Amino acid sequence: MPQLLITGGAGFIGSHSCLSFLEAGHNLVILDNYSNGSKEALKRVAQLVGLHDSKRLRLIRGDIRNKNDLDKAFTASDQPIEAVIHFAGLKAVSESFLDPLKYWDVNLSGSRSLLEAMLSYECKTIVFSSSATIYGCPQKIPIDETALVQPVNPYGHTKAAVERLLSDLAESQNGWRIASLRYFNPVGAHSSGVIGEDPNGLPNNLFPVVSQVAVGRIEELKVFGCDWSTPDGSAIRDFIHVVDLAEGHLAALEVLLREPPQMLTLNLGTGRGHSVLEVLNAFQKVSKRNIPYLIERRRPGDVACTVADSTMAEQRLGWKTKLNLFDMCKDAWNWQKMNPLGYQEK
């Protein structure tokens, strides 16, 4: 099976995807600086797979912006790297307003350095972690891939810029196999509760905030805006289970390896929207915990509603989400109650 390089493999989506790739028989080299990921997550992935041969999962601590670190990653295995799954990047919308320079450096310059290294090691197959955030305020719901790319925050602009770089590369040189996967809202955890979402510091995203309120780490949920033009006034998102998302990466890689060079740009979502208050109620039901909340003003950079049209991914990858909001809340809560402090040492 092809040797893969996974950048950012110690993160939330990265670690769940590493599990899927290992279960499918791939051997992995992980390059991660652990800025928003945990070595412990990868140790647990190895336990879940029952890995005894460390040759199948090699960890390189390093940064995608550092050429020496990239060289170490591309030469860590005696097998050549046949494909790169590129998760490494910064992804907090609110933080990107505060420090755009860091977001452009890590997300764009880091991706450029990675692509240069890929060329020098004759590897031209990449699955890129893009985001539905690049659509900004959608004209039409559900959103398909022909929708305007019009980000409304620096994070979204960096993701759109990397997509532009990838499509310029695909057009300029033959042989590139590229899949840019536009995630909607990844949430949940592996059903074992052994791995899950463990953001560094105070979480920005809804699901980790709700689950940390439920477990008592955070006092209450602040609902950012209840004056949106939606049925209950709170914003709507297309939450996708992280295990479904991981399977989408595996399906995309298999199509790239099987078909002639091309660039795929695909939405990965469920096609179903749920509001913030619906998530709150579902989580209370699943956890049997009361989740106190306060209605606050809207958060800069937010939009009322984003829901995916993922029919293109279903057709091109033969992939479809299987898990629903109840599964997402159940698995997120199972992880949180088994790991109240996340991966931190007890």
Residue with tokens 């240069």: 116
Buried b (16+ CB within 10 A) or exposed e, 233-266: bbbbbbbbbbbbbbbbbbbbbebbeeeeeebbbb
Under rule CB under 6 A, residue 12 binds ligand WQD: no
Among 93, 286, 328, 332, binds ligand WQD (CB under 6 A): 93
316 scored as a contact of ligand WQD (CB under 6 A): no
Q: Which of 237, 241, 249, 274 binds ligand WQD (CB under 6 A)?
A: 237
Q: Could you give the angle at which helices 110-120 and 154-172 cross, rounded to 10 degrees?
A: 20
Binding test (CB under 6 A) with ligand WQD, winner from 133, 212, 265, 310? 133
Q: Is 155 known to be catalytic?
A: yes
Is position 209 an interface residue for ligand WQD (rule: CB under 6 A)? yes
List the one residue from 113, 204, 281, 324 that touches ligand WQD (CB under 6 A).
204
Assign residue 333 a region (left: φ > 0; alpha: ψ between -120 and 50; beta: otherwise): alpha
Of residues 93 and 307, the one with the C-beta less far from ligand WQD: 93
Q: Which positions from 267 to 296 touch ligand WQD by CB under 6 A, shown as an x/- string?
A: ---------x--------------------
Q: Partners of 32 in the beta sheet?
A: 61
Find, among 100, 187, 94, 169, the residue nearest to 133 by Cα: 94
Give the x/- contact pattern for ligand WQD in 213-232, rule: CB under 6 A: --------xxxx--------
- Apex CA 125: angle with CA 122 and CA 130, to 5°? 135
- The structure tokens listed for 223 are 């609902």
The set of catalytic residues is: 155
Q: Which residues bind ligand WQD (CB under 6 A)?
A: 91, 93, 131, 133, 183, 185, 204-206, 209, 221-224, 235, 237, 276, 299, 302
